[in-house]
Structure formats: structure tokens, C-alpha cells
Amino acid sequence: MDYTKITTFGALKTSGYKPQTIKEELRQNLITKIKKGETVFTGVHGYEDTVIPELERAILSKHNINFLGLRGQAKTRLARLMVNLLDEYVPVVQGSEINDDPYNPISRYALELLKEKGDETQISWLHRNDRFAEKLATPDVTVADLIGDVDPIKAANLKLSYADDRVIHFGMIPRANRSIFVINELPDLQARIQVALFNILQEGDIQIRGFKLRLPLDVQFIFTANPEDYTNRGSIVTPLKDRIGSQILTHYPTSVEIAKSITAQEANLEAAQKEQIYVPELARELIEQISFEARNSEYVDEKSGVSARMSITAFQNLLSTAELRMLKNGAQTTSIRLSDFMGIVPAITGKVELVYEGEQEGADTVALQLIENAVKNLFPILFPKIEKLERENERYPYDDIVRWFSESEGIELSDEISDTDYKRILDQVTPIHALIQQYQPETMPKDLHFLIEFVLWGLTLHNKLSKYRLGNGLQFQDNFQGYLRNNL
């Protein structure tokens, strides 16, 4: 039955509509979706066996929830997705500031209106998208912001005493009655403000400026917090933690494949970039591997974390680097090169918090090191591992490549070189073709030159060749030439 056509309380009562609290609503709709085999939390990757089952248990238990995790772990996204578990529409007393349920009115306005008009009381229907409120906790948030305060202007206009509860201006939480209310970064909320939430969480009611006012609010609270905050910027006061039913720990992607799916979903690329720029799969893996390297780096503050947003913005920068080169060359299409990864440095430096040693090294240096570490750690997955110690007179897979560089002056790859010249220069290193044919025989032609450059980078990072950054490009030489270059 389409209840939304009902406009009076009397008609609502005869329709058979049954009201529920928001926690009962979430619980019943979750049960229905699970029985139908529907995916509840779409667009969240890597949490299928960890966070989501815990969240579903918390909803079934009708708990208020605290998501505890580092930056960029989809805490707020999960909270917003819970809106999909609400009924599409719920009835409210028309004109109510706090979404009064006509079956269970709590405000003075709704109580008096229902007493006066009874079954003729007008109702309106509130859509699920309007039943979500969010507040970022900052040190300047006040009790008045969240709960409410006496409004002197309202008192003057209505000619009422401050002792009259009609002069109250409701804060964000009462206005989120029968809704999901999210407080992000809870530890940033001053302790005295957190204390003001005690009664709301435990008893479901509020107190404003000493008024004998009991508003049994119906709110699903969701909090988010960063573990770092417990020691650095503030803490969640213990009695408040005790009143939060479930604390759910979030985490970063556990594999490159999961991370790739997140980046692909969130990158929000321009249609022209998707159509004109080819991205080798290895390039996508490298982007994610850089984030994994950052989370394990001795120069990056592990307590702060490395947000998934770093991979997203790095991927955007990577495509923009290739697009800029394409535009300057007047080309219609291009492909990502490994040297394009120099363009993602700003995306890395803006997303990582460095420890003291990292600051000493410099943000740019750390970013370049993360890129090189990603290449170095992916290299032995695709090609034979390069041993630190090699036996004399024994042949190794990279000997022909090293010999080619020792017998030549090396190669230079300018950042803005055309695709034709880029491929021509790389094709000069003929022994690499044989290596790729032997160890990666299924390489597609459009991935070949990225893989050739990847081999060159890998050999330099394992001290088989030398790589230098020129003003606007890279130069690859054998180690002897590199030694001379450094000592002239």
C-alpha cells in the first residue's frame, strides 16, 4: 500500500500502518535484505568478512556504533550507507521541528496540535534521504549546537518568559529525531560536550538549560574516531564509550586487488581520460603498491595512517601527467609510462605524515623512495630475482641487458617525448625483448613498452644499471658510466 497519499492522522490509523523506532526499522529491513540475499553495503570493498558482519551484528543488536580506524577507511561511507536500511518514507506531524511521530509525539508543538485536532491532524512524509544528519566534531562545537539553547529572539517575538519551554531553539540532535546522526572524529569533541551526550545515549532524552523537559529522542547514533586521537588530540571519555553499544575496528585493504577496485571506483576520471589514455594493469598495481610501501615505511607516521585517498589522487595525477604530455604533443591517444609516476609525487607528499627522520630526508625524497620501493618489490614477482652475490663465470638472465648498456652510451627518455620516439628508444634495448618473451610471454603489445621501462627501473634499483634524473627526463646507463658521471 502507498501510505504516502495519506494526509491525516486518522486516515493513517485506519490504514494499518505500524510505527517503529529507528533501531527496529534498521533491524527489520536488514533482516529482510539478508533473507532476500541482497547486498546491503554496496561500494565498500575488502570488508566483506570483517567490518560488515560486525556492523550487521550491531544493527541486529540495535546498538549505537563507533567506527574506530585510521584515515580513509570508509568509516563515514559505511554510516551513510545505513540510510539504505531505513523505510523509504515515515510519517511526521506536519510542521514539527523534530520529526514528531504522530503515534508518539514528544514536542510541545505536536502534543498540543494532536490534542486540538485529533484525527484531523495533518501529517507529512519524510524521505529516508532526509533522515541523515552529520556533524564534524571540532573543539568549538557547543552544547547549544548539538542539543539546543534558549533563543532570546524567539522569546522577544513571542513575548514569552525564559522559563517557558517554547523559547527553546533545538540543536542538531533533536532535529535529527527518528534519523541517523553521525558525529565524525568524536575525540575532537571537548570532554564537557561529550558528557552532554550521556543522557541521550543511555536514556534517550535531553536536558536544555535546566528545563524540566524530557524529550525521549529516537536516534541511531554513529560515531567515528581515529585511534591516534586517543593520545594526540583528545580522547573519548570513558562513560561515553561505555554507552556506545558496539565499537567496530576498520582497516586498510589487505591486498593490491582490493585496493585497485577501490581506486577504480573512486577516481572519478573524465570520460576523455578514460578513452584517450591506456593504463597498463601493472601501472594500476604500482599505484596501490606505493600505498602499501608508505604504510610500512620507517619515514611515515604509522599512527596517522595512509589514506586510500592517496592512491585515488595519485592515480588521477598519473593520468593527468600522461594527458598533459599528449596535449603538448598534439596527439589523440597515449599510454601511461613508468616515468609518468614522477607526476604523482605531489599526491604522495600531501597525503603522508612524516616522522622526524622523514622530515630530515624531505617529503619529495621520501615520495620518490616509495615509488622505487614499489617497483623493487614487484619486480621479482614478474622476473627472476636478482641475487646480491653472483658467482663468477655463471650466466644470469640479465647479463645481455647489462652488456648492451656497457657497450653503448645508454638511453635518455624525455618526459615530453612523443609516443613514437619513446617506443623507438626503448626498442633499441633489444635484449629486454628476449627477457620479456621468456618470462612474460603473454604480454600484450600495448603493455610492452611500459614493461620494458619497468625492467630498466628494476635493474637500476638492484644496482645492475644506473638511473639519473635529468632536467626533464631520465637517463639509463651502465654502472661504470654512472660512476664516471658521479666523479667528474
Average pLDDT (282-304) is: 93
Q: Is 486 exposed, middle or buried (0-12, 13-18, 19+ CB in 10 A)?
A: exposed
Average pLDDT (476-488) is: 64
Three-class SS string for 390-410? CCCCCCCCCHHHHHHHHCCCC
Which pLDDT does position 163 carry in this prediction?
A: 55
pLDDT tens digits for range 54-89: 999 999 999 999 999 988 899 999 999 999 999 999
Please give the Cα distance from 418 to 328 (Å, whole number): 9
Q: Is 253 exposed, middle or buried (0-12, 13-18, 19+ CB in 10 A)?
A: buried
Please give the Cα distance from 106 to 115 (Å, whole number): 12
pLDDT tens digits for range 303-360: 888 888 999 999 999 999 999 999 999 999 999 999 999 999 999 998 898 998 999 9
Provide Rg for the chain, Cα atoms. Answer: 30
Mean model confidence pLDDT for the chain: 88
Residue 101 per-residue DSSP state: B
Q: What pTM was estimated for this model as a whole?
A: 0.85
How much of the chain exceeds pLDDT 90, in percent?
64
Residue 366 pLDDT > 60, yes or no?
yes
What letter represents residue 110's amino acid? A
- Note the helical H segments in 37-104: 51-60, 75-81
Please give the Cα distance from 415 to 429 (Å, whole number): 19
Specify which residues 134 forms β-bridges with. Answer: 182
Average pLDDT (457-483) is: 85
Which pLDDT does position 152 carry in this prediction?
A: 63
Residue 151 pLDDT > 70, yes or no?
no
Which pLDDT does position 231 carry in this prediction?
A: 44
Distance of alpha carbon 175 from its chain centroid, rounded? 28
Cell 551484528 belongs to which residue?
57
Which pLDDT does position 233 carry in this prediction?
A: 54
Which pLDDT does position 232 carry in this prediction?
A: 46
Of residues 188 and 30, more confidence is placed in 30
How much of the chain exceeds pLDDT 70, in percent?
90
Please give the Cα distance from 170 to 97 (Å, whole number): 8
The angle at the Cα of 63, spanning 62 to 69, to the nearest 5 degrees, equals: 140
Q: Among candidates 480, 486, 342, 472, which has minimal Cα distance to 410?
A: 480
Residue 18 pLDDT > 50, yes or no?
yes
| 3-class DSSP state of 46 | coil
Q: Among candidates 307, 254, 293, which has minimal Cα distance to 46?
A: 254
C-beta atoms surrounding 4 within 10 Å: 12
- Which conformational region is residue 444 in: left (phi greater than 0), alpha (psi within -120 to 50 degrees), or beta? beta
- Supply the DSSP string of 332-367, one letter for each residue: S-EE--GGGGGGGHHHHHTT--B-HHHHHH-HHHHH
C-beta atoms surrounding 159 within 10 Å: 7
CB-facing half-sphere around the CA of 100: CA atoms within 13 A: 23
pLDDT tens digits for range 397-412: 899 999 999 999 899 9
What phi and psi, each to the nearest 5 degrees, are found at residue 476? -115, 130
Of residues 122 and 483, more confidence is placed in 122
Residue 114 pLDDT > 80, yes or no?
yes
CA–CA distance from 116 to each of 100, 104, 119 (Å)? 16, 16, 9
Please give the Cα distance from 21 to 19 (Å, whole number): 7
Which pLDDT does position 40 carry in this prediction?
A: 86
Residue 210 pLDDT > 70, yes or no?
no
